[in-house]
Structure 1
Amino acid sequence: MIQTGFGYVSFLIVFCGLAFWITTKYSHLRVFQILSPVVIIYLGISICATAGAFGATDSVGAAQGMISGNLLPCALVLLLLNADIRKIVKMGPKLVLSMLGCSLTVVIGFILTYLLLKKVLPEDSWMTLGAISGAWIGGSENMVAAAQILGLPDNNMTYCLLMDTVVYGIWISILFAMVNKADWFNKWTKADTSMVENAIKQIEEEHNDTTIIPLWETLAVLAVAFGVGSLSQYVAKFLPVTTIVAFKRYMPSLGLHRKNSRLSSVP
């Protein structure tokens, strides 16, 4: 069991590196054509956490808080550095409609599930399903906000958190694994993905440069990432604060250690 923050961070870095190395070196194997490095990392870390590989110590909790509160914003900046806003704007209407369509189908799915199973479900199960649907279209914070608006009892919130964690983990892994089947799915649904494919092709051509990046450029990119991350934390102090989202009272019912939960960064 890992008890120190340094050991925890080191394990994450080594595990991620091994996942990418193995899937690249043995890419000819069928299993790695289905399971991408992201899926392996997601499932692997989740299994390790569930198996108790990470101790519920102050050091590990501080490391998790540092990653989610400090490194995650910097990583998002690095992720978006290559984003071409002009191409995104051109796809804007379709992207927005796709997002709204996905959100609508999630809500309809929960409604149909309730209508089909309401005879065997508890009387107030509609509130539970309503809160979970809020999570799947707007995140965990949206789930708690919906639960409080609907008046969902605290004991029912336990089921929401379990389903949001367990089912979400399984479903997102399936989606990642199905990425390689996207062409087949698009053909089956007769979806026109030419605009997205052209944008991806242009991006690949623009970044198909194998020139070794000088050290100073690497440091400059990291400086931008950490600078924007630090600035965002400073600006956040002046933003309004809401108390509508409060996970603390739901943690004991799940037996979760707040510092080691995936919701630890939520007030």
Structure 2
Amino acid sequence: MTPAASTALITNDAVILGLLAVTLGAVFWTASRPSGFWHKFYSYVPALLMCYLVPAIFNTVGLIDSSGSGLYPMARDYLLPSALVLFCVAMDFGAIVRLGPKALIMFLTGTVGVMLGAVISLVAIGIIHPPTVGGETWRGMTTIAGSWIGGGANQAAMKEVFEVDANLFGQFIAVDVIVAYFWMAILLFLAPRAKAFDSWTGADASAIENLQQRMASYQAEHERVPSMSDLMLIFAAGIGLTGLSHLLAGPLVAWVQSLPAAWNLQDYSLDSRFFWIVVFATTFGVLLSLTRARRLEGAGASNVGSVMLYVLIATIGMQMDLKSVVDRPMLLLLGVIWISVHAALMLGVAKLIRAPLFFLAVGSQANIGGAASAPVVASAFHPALAPVGVLLAVLGYALGTYCAYITGLMLQAIAT
């Protein structure tokens, strides 16, 4: 049967990519305005949401054709692994260790809170309103786990690994953005009240002052204007290791598929080529961070990775049908229960180990918001502390693929 002709106004991928590029440029330019209407607008509407929403509107009104486009597969297979490499290459284990054990404990508590919250929210909504978590809902939850432990790249990775339907993914994008930014707003509200919180936990605030001085020196030491050589090395690291990941994934998948079917390895996505591409890319990025290549972060490696990531986000957005977002409002309650478990665990551990509010806020946001918003929360305490949010968020990118995958397996076991 001949496929039906597209009714979209624009069907040429080159034109669509140009439109998405202009859209992303417009979003970031307007979001950078220091005053006026756009400054007020982005005080309430996150720029990240617009990067999803505007392409989704293009698709919903029939301006572009998402069904026949090859842009998302391109971004998924090439830009996503490259972004993971460039985010992970920025890891500075020495700097993370110097943050002290409480910072890492609160960060890892946030990770456990997301994993535990996924299980509890699935069970709770299963009791409150079973139809909401019926069918393939657990698959959509894996994408939030990827986002809330790592970031957008890990979220997209889980979408592919667990084969999440585009409409279901769109619904969980809405839950992700609404719940995550509401929690971020709470953290920003608490930031000016850090002294009262630290008094409640019994935390020693002097450690934060030392941290401010250390991070200000670190930032000044590593930042530089990137040269052409720097940019080409960044490009080589991201794209080159992505190519190597593709090269290794093919034979490995063929070997896994040759193993006895009784082992049921497909139930763990071990026969998925994309799964191994993501695992290899993340692992290569982490290993690269242990070498002198980590210096590329001073030239903007993670910024280049962010450009790749936002192109991916736009191609994901263009697949959404916005009309499907309002079909299942109880999913929002699932998200609220999920983030509440995370918040309760963070508060309990902070009180137990006498952690400052700064460590709670940044440790949480490094998981929930990733590199896009963790620095925002960190800088709410002091501008020099913004890199702390980046460092912990980058650690989240490294953990996001693995922990979200484990969470997905737990959700699958409960749902089935």
Equivalent residue for 2:245, pick from 232, 244, 248: 232
Q: Are 1:107 and 2:119 matched, yes or no?
A: yes
Q: Are 1:184 and 2:189 matched, yes or no?
A: yes
1:6-155 matches, cutoff 5 A: 6-27=14-35, 29-56=39-66, 60-61=69-70, 63-88=71-96, 91-117=103-129, 121=131, 133=141, 136-137=144-145, 139-140=158-159
8 Å contact kept, 2:27–2:51: yes
> What do residues 180-210 of structure 1 show as CA deviations (whole Å, max 9, x unaligned)?
5423257699588988998798556534577
8 Å contact kept, 1:19–1:40: yes
- Between the aligned residues of both structures, percent identity stands at 17
Q: Are 1:214 and 2:227 matched, yes or no?
A: yes
> What do residues 14-64 of structure 1 show as CA deviations (whole Å, max 9, x unaligned)?
211111111112555322123332222122223223333322575x32x32
Q: In 2, Cα distance between the equivalents of 1:136 and 1:237?
A: 28
Q: Who is 2:386 aligned against? A: none
8 Å contact kept, 1:134–1:142: no
Q: In 2, Cα distance between the equivalents of 1:141 and 1:54?
A: 23
Distance 1:88 1:169, change over 3 A: same
Q: In 1, Cα distance between the equivalents of 2:208 and 2:124?
A: 32
Gaps of 5+ in 2: 1-8, 147-157, 257-264, 273-317, 321-416
Q: In 2, Cα distance between the equivalents of 1:130 and 1:190?
A: 36
Kindly provide the amino acid, as one letter, of the partner of residue 3 in structure 1: T
Kindly provide the amino acid, as one letter, of the partner of residue 206 in structure 1: Y
Bigger mean CA offset, 80-89 vs 218-227? 80-89
Distance 1:129 1:83, change over 3 A: same
Bigger relative CO (Cα 8 Å, ≥ 6 apart): 2
Query: Could you state the TM-score of these two structures normalised by the residue count of structure 1?
Result: 0.65
Distance 1:81 1:199, change over 3 A: farther
Question: 1:222 Cα deviation (Å)?
Answer: 1.4
Gaps of 5+ in 1: 145-159, 248-259, 263-267
8 Å contact kept, 2:56–2:319: no
> What do residues 209-260 of structure 1 show as CA deviations (whole Å, max 9, x unaligned)?
775322222222212221111111112123235644699xxxxxxxxxxxx8
8 Å contact kept, 1:75–1:225: yes
Supply the RMSD in Å over aligned alpha carbons.
4.1
Size of the aligned set, in residue pairs, is 229
Q: Secondary structure at the match of 1:54?
A: coil
Q: In 2, Cα distance between the equivalents of 1:162 and 1:7?
A: 22
Q: Which has the higher helix share?
A: 2
Q: Who is 2:11 aligned against? A: 3
